[in-house]
Amino acid sequence: MNITIYHNPQCGTSRNTLALIRNTGIEPDIIEYLKTPPSKEKLQALITAMAIPVRDLIRQKGTPYLELGLDNDALSDDALITAMLAHPLLINRPIVVTPLGVKLCRPSEAVLDILPLPQLKEFTKEDGEKVIDAEGRRV
């Protein structure tokens, strides 16, 4: 089963998403996108597959979003993508690719909508929120 996660190990949401994928028994391909950013073509393909506006993939918190003037609504999609490639921290995460779809998984349990296998056991997020019960069902 081929699943890919564009992951930032410093991000709790990304860590929880990765753990939910692993809770199906699948070990995904992990791309630490801050170390290995996607190409322009790959980023565009991910955005298209997610069927979201480019602006919805830009992370504002803890990034140079305002300093770069990315809050300017007149900027083109190409300009926004160029900024994300120049500053990968601007790419919101985690992005997960499965045979069932591509999704920006915020909150982390959004990944459950595109996982091809069920959860194997109980799962509680890092913050203590229970997401999966002992029978492997979404809470």
Nearest 5°: phi and psi at 80? -65, -45
- What is the spatial distance between Cα 78 and Cα 82, in angstroms, rounded to a whole number? 6
Which one of the listed residues 3, 5, 11, 95 is annotated catalytic?
A: 11
Q: Does the active-site annotation cover 105? A: no
Q: Cis before residue 28, ω within 30 degrees of 0?
A: no
Residues 6+ apart with CB under 8 A from 107: 13
- What is the spatial distance between Cα 116 and Cα 100, in angstroms, rounded to a whole number? 7
- Amino acid sitting at position 97: V
Distances (CA, A) of 74 to 4, 66, 105: 33, 14, 27
Task: Indicate which residues carry an active-site annotation.
Answer: 11
